[in-house]
Structure 1
Amino acid sequence: MVEELVRRLDLKPHPEGGYYRETYRAAFQVQTLRGRRSAGTAIYYLLQRGEFSAWHRVVGADELWLFHDGEPLALHLVHEDGRVESPVLGRDVTQGHQPQVLVPAGVLQAAESLGAYTLVGCTVSPGFEFADFELPEEEALVARHPAHEALLRRFSKAGRR
């Protein structure tokens, strides 16, 4: 099933893990502190069992995750003040799932599928640019948030097996 989704949606490997394809980029441009950016972008993003989205942050832009298909996804967030949240993105709101989750600009985020696969959409506003994308080093994350060392190491790029 995952291979078929990757093929039919024309997904490519993402630097943080999983697969993606940009599906929308607004023609309208806005001025930001980091330069001119598209007003918004959208992607498909797919994770399968055993994969994860490594800790990353999008500087200067909010990211909205939207559930599409498959099993629920755990989205792990570490705010600058050290507060941790792990909302579950999914379709069963009676079980506490959320069909969409907002990640404010600059918040550390990582994700994992809680089943065979999860297909989501991610919209970013102002629009995503890889120049605004950070994959922090594991040791820097642990030094900044030592109380969350186990969680940070579990989803670090270096922790990928």
Structure 2
Amino acid sequence: MHPLVNKLGLEPHPEGGYYRQIYRSGYEVTSPKHGLARPAVTHIYFLLLKGQVSRFHRVLHDEIWNHYDGAPLTIYQLHQQQLHEKRIGGPEDDMAAIVPGGHFQAATSTGDYSLVGCSVAPGFDFADFSFIDEPCLKQWIELAHPHLTKFI
């Protein structure tokens, strides 16, 4: 077990890796996506260890990733069969990435570990989270980007 798991009090995340929510706004807003109340913003620590992946998933609201420690992190975004790759945390890379709400996203560490923070606004709720469940999209990834099948 990596020492950051204990130090930061992290637990396994359903998409892969480890996390802990460190902030949940006391203010509520109405989601423009479905009209339900959500906290204004939430923030988590998220840790991916070597060999772990954050599986393709989507969140209904915008998500901001910030690199804190360890190796650079590669983030894949998929929307309407357009795939984008961005690395954060390296000397030549940005320190943050934005994933618009509704886009599928996946991630992997480029080294032994990557510690990042993820903010979602309106705030994260597992009811607004989903994995790829469309068979045609899974098949498209397998055919067009076979190196990304480990993220499905």
State if a TM-score over 0.5 links the two structures. Answer: yes
CA RMSD in angstroms comes to: 1.7
Q: How far apart are residue 4 of structure 1 and its match?
A: 1.1
Could you tell me how far apart the structure 1 residues matched to 2:117 and 2:39 are?
18
* Matching residue's letter, 2:57: H
Q: How far apart are residue 91 of structure 1 and its match?
A: 4.0
**Length-normalised TM-score, structure 2:** 0.91
Q: Is the 8 A contact 1:142 1:152 kept in 2?
A: no
Classify the secondary structure of the residue corresponding to 2:55.
strand
Aligned counterparts, 1:118-137, within 5 A: 118-137=114-133
Aligned to 2:44: 43
* Off by >2 Å, runs of 4+ in structure 1: 137-149
Q: For 1:50-100, what per-residue CA distance to the aligned partner results, in whole angstroms no more than 9, with x for missing partners?
A: 0000000002x10000000000010011112x21111001141xx2x1100
Could you tell me how far apart the structure 2 residues matched to 1:85 and 1:41 are?
25
Match of 2:150 among 143, 150, 154: 154
Structure (1/2) with the larger strand percentage = 2
For structure 1, the residue ranges without an aligned partner over 5 or more in a row are 157-161
Question: In the alignment, does 2:100 pair up with 1:101?
Answer: no
Q: For 1:101-135, what per-residue CA distance to the aligned partner results, in whole angstroms no more than 9, with x for missing partners?
A: 00000101000000000000000000000000001
* Matching residue's letter, 1:73: L
Question: In the alignment, does 2:64 pair up with 1:64?
Answer: yes
* Matching residue's letter, 1:100: A
Deviates further, 66-75 or 138-147: 138-147
Residues 27 and 3 (structure 1 numbering): CA distance in 2 closer, same or farther, change over 3 Å?
Answer: same
Classify the secondary structure of the residue corresponding to 1:87.
strand
Could you tell me how far apart the structure 2 residues matched to 1:128 and 1:144 are?
28
* Matching residue's letter, 1:106: G
Aligned to 1:27: 26
Could you tell me how far apart the structure 2 residues matched to 1:100 and 1:20 are?
18
Question: In the alignment, does 2:83 pair up with 1:84?
Answer: yes
For structure 2, the residue ranges without an aligned partner over 5 or more in a row are none
Classify the secondary structure of the residue corresponding to 1:56.
strand
Q: Is the 8 A contact 1:55 1:135 kept in 2?
A: yes
**Length-normalised TM-score, structure 1:** 0.86
Structure (1/2) with the larger helix percentage = 1
